[in-house]
């Protein structure tokens, strides 16, 4: 992917969902839509659901779609932190511009760790040795 497109994609991710950006008008019943436009480029992230979710990110140049990525996931623990997921996604890199970093751990208690292996993310919240919360993104 062209460096200018990667830079745009990273910026778009940081100002929309990861950056707690405002949702735009829903494109489908009960969908969550976020959009970023810069010049002739447009980014839209739309997802359905909550505890179980599916979504798509897509890019357009002059209103012609040229890239998209689908994602699904589910929360598999009671202590899941959506803010932590957004924090991790803010750290998207040029090397992996499609999601957040392969590994991410916050520095403040409680310790939370995010790992991505072959399109599978698992997030764990460690308050103590006996409690943990995870989210799977497929």
pLDDT digits 0-9 by tens, 18-62: 999 999 999 999 999 999 999 999 999 999 998 888 899 999 999
Which one has a higher pLDDT value, 95 or 121?
Answer: 95
d(CA 83, CA 98): 19
Percent of the chain whose pLDDT exceeds 90: 44
Q: Is 108 helix (H, G, I), strand (E, B) or coil?
A: coil
Residue with more model confidence, 59 or 110: 59
What is the rounded average pLDDT of the residues 10-16?
A: 96
Torsion from C-alpha of 104, 108, 109, 110, nearest 10 degrees = -30
**How many structural domains does the chain have?**
1
107, pLDDT greater than 90: no
Q: Can you give the residue range of the structural domain that contains 103?
A: 3-137
Using a 10 angstrom Cβ sphere, with 0-12 exposed, 13-18 middle and 19 or more buried, the burial of residue 126 is: middle
Strand-pair partners of 98: none
């Amino acid at each position: 992917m062209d460096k200018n497109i990667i830079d745009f994609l990273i910026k778009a991710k940081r100002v929309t969902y990861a950056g707690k950006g405002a949702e735009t008008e829903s494109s489908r019943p009960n969908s969550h839509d976020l959009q970023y436009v810069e010049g002739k480029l447009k980014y839209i992230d739309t997802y359905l659901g909550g505890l179980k979710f599916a979504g798509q990110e897509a890019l357009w140049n002059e209103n012609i779609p040229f890239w998209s990525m689908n994602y699904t996931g589910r929360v598999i623990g009671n202590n899941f932190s959506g803010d932590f997921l957004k924090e991790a996604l803010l750290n998207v890199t040029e090397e992996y511009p499609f999601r957040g970093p392969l590994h991410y751990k916050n520095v403040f208690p409680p310790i939370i760790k995010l790992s991505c292996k072959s399109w599978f993310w698992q997030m764990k919240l460690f308050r103590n040795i006996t409690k943990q919360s995870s989210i799977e993104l497929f």
